[in-house]
């Protein structure tokens, strides 16, 4: 693809051609081949790991759980699925690395939302599909463009630690999801529900709090209900080990409200670290056949009507593709994700553009983080 074959090289009596290691498509990391010989970890180590995980997966004693967390079986409330009309919006986004230079990386970022009325899809809106250069010395203007231009926030966006700088592209994807959330709120009408894939209570990441404040304010003005539903959570409880809180809540809730969807308020309980974000946090299982309960963040206005709103969401969480997870969020995830084939095509196109600018194959390969080179080499 990039010129002819390279001259062979000799190592002792072994003569090989680098082309054997870097076929044209593999040179730029377009294809990743599975290794023909996979090494199995020792059975004893697997058994030891299983015994360690047993403590985290073991059944929950409701009395111990109540003492440690303050959550009682009587706190769980049944969710009654209902149709109150209106539309449901769902926001999601994705972020993949296209090109890694070590200190600087190029990312493909996509964000947007989908709209349903009842079980009928109405539209998909992609609000961002762009390339982002994550440069530690030159990033603030990318954030300012949206923080100032859309949310009218004057304060500069500055990351404070090396760990945060390493996650710069994640912060940028978050911001693009917040832009999509804002656009959805502006399109929504009174009585509509807007679901955000993620959380509103940013315990460790306060940078977008001003953005959320603007979104909450506009949603309140328009009579739009907002909910954030998290697919994962780091909340924990217990002494000695950190037991996953949501999984334990799920076990207790299913015993307290068997055969029905349910919710329970987590805010104000000992297991929750309170943050002054102006809302409340709940756990909810949206269908009895679901495998998971989810964390739900509700701003103040929405929290007051949480039973009714979750009833609407539960009615449309019956999809066979993802029972117990709102189908509109499932659709948003599918629409906004960037599959590996699309990432690879973007990478290929980028290499072609670099070649057009006069860079040789060796110059481009030499600029890559060597992990990409190693990952692209087929084991012999």
- Domain residue spans in the chain? 9-31+340-376, 68-94+112-123+190-336
Q: How far is CA 199 from CA 227, 273, 321, 375, in A?
A: 9, 14, 23, 34
Nearest to 331 by CA among 144, 112, 17, 37: 112
Residue 193, both tokens: 């529900």
Query: Residue 65 and residue 245: Cα distance in Å, rounded?
Result: 10
- Lowest average pLDDT, out of 20-29, 97-106, 221-230, goes to 20-29
Fold of the CATH domain 68-94+112-123+190-336? Nucleotidyltransferase; domain 5 (3.30.420)
Does residue 19 register a pLDDT over 50? no
Nearest to 140 by CA among 162, 161, 159, 153: 159
Does residue 220 register a pLDDT over 50? yes
Beta carbons within 8 Å of 167's beta carbon, 6+ residues apart: none
Quick check: pTM over 0.75?
A: yes
**Does residue 130 contact residue 107 with C-beta atoms inside 8 Å?**
no
For residues 287-302, give the mean pLDDT: 93
Q: Is 23 helix (H, G, I), strand (E, B) or coil?
A: coil
Q: Scanning the structure block, which residue is given the tokens 């051609």?
A: 17
Query: When comparing pLDDT for 20 and 44, which is higher?
Result: 44
**Does residue 322 contact residue 330 with C-beta atoms inside 8 Å?**
yes
188 CB-contact burial (10 Å; exposed 0-12 / middle 13-18 / buried 19+): buried
Residue 150, both tokens: 């859309």
User: pLDDT tens across 248-275, in order?
Assistant: 999 999 999 999 999 999 988 877 766 6
**Does residue 263 contact residue 76 with C-beta atoms inside 8 Å?**
yes
pLDDT at 32: 46
Contacts 24+ apart (CB under 8 A), 161-167: 165/136
């Amino acid at each position: 693809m990039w010129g002819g074959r390279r001259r062979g090289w000799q190592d002792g009596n072994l003569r090989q051609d680098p082309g054997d290691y870097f076929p044209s498509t593999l040179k730029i990391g377009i294809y990743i081949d599975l290794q023909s010989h996979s090494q199995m970890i020792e059975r004893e180590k697997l058994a030891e790991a299983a015994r360690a995980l047993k403590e985290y997966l073991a059944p929950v004693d409701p009395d111990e759980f109540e003492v440690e967390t303050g959550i009682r079986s009587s706190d769980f409330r049944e969710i009654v699925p209902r149709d109150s009309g209106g539309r449901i919006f769902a926001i999601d986004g994705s972020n993949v690395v296209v090109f890694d230079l070590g200190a600087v990386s190029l990312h493909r970022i996509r964000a947007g939302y989908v709209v349903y009325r009842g079980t009928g899809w109405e539209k998909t809106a992609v609000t961002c599909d762009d390339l982002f250069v994550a440069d530690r010395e030159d990033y603030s203007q990318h954030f300012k463009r949206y923080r100032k231009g859309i949310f009218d926030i004057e304060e500069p966006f500055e990351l404070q630690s090396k760990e945060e700088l390493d996650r710069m592209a994640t912060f940028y994807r978050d911001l693009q999801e917040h832009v999509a959330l804002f656009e959805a709120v502006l399109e929504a009408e009174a009585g509509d529900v807007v679901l955000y894939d993620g959380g509103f209570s940013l315990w460790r990441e306060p940078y977008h709090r001003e953005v959320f404040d603007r979104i909450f304010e506009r949603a309140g003005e328009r009579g739009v209900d907002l909910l954030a539903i998290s697919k994962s959570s780091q909340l924990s409880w217990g002494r000695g080990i950190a037991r996953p809180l949501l999984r334990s809540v799920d076990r207790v809730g299913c015993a307290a409200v068997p055969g029905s969807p349910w919710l329970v308020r987590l805010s104000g309980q000992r297991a929750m670290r309170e943050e002054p974000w102006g809302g409340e946090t709940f756990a909810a299982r949206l269908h009895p056949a679901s495998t998971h309960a989810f964390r739900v963040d509700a701003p103040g206005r929405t929290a007051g009507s949480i039973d009714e709103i979750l009833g609407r969401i539960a009615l449309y969480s019956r999809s066979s593709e993802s029972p117990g997870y709102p189908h509109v969020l499932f659709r948003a995830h599918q629409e906004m994700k960037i599959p590996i084939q699309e990432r690879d095509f973007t990478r290929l196109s980028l290499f072609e553009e670099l070649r057009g600018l006069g860079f040789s194959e060796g110059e481009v390969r030499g600029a890559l983080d060597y992990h990409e080179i190693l990952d692209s080499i087929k084991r012999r």
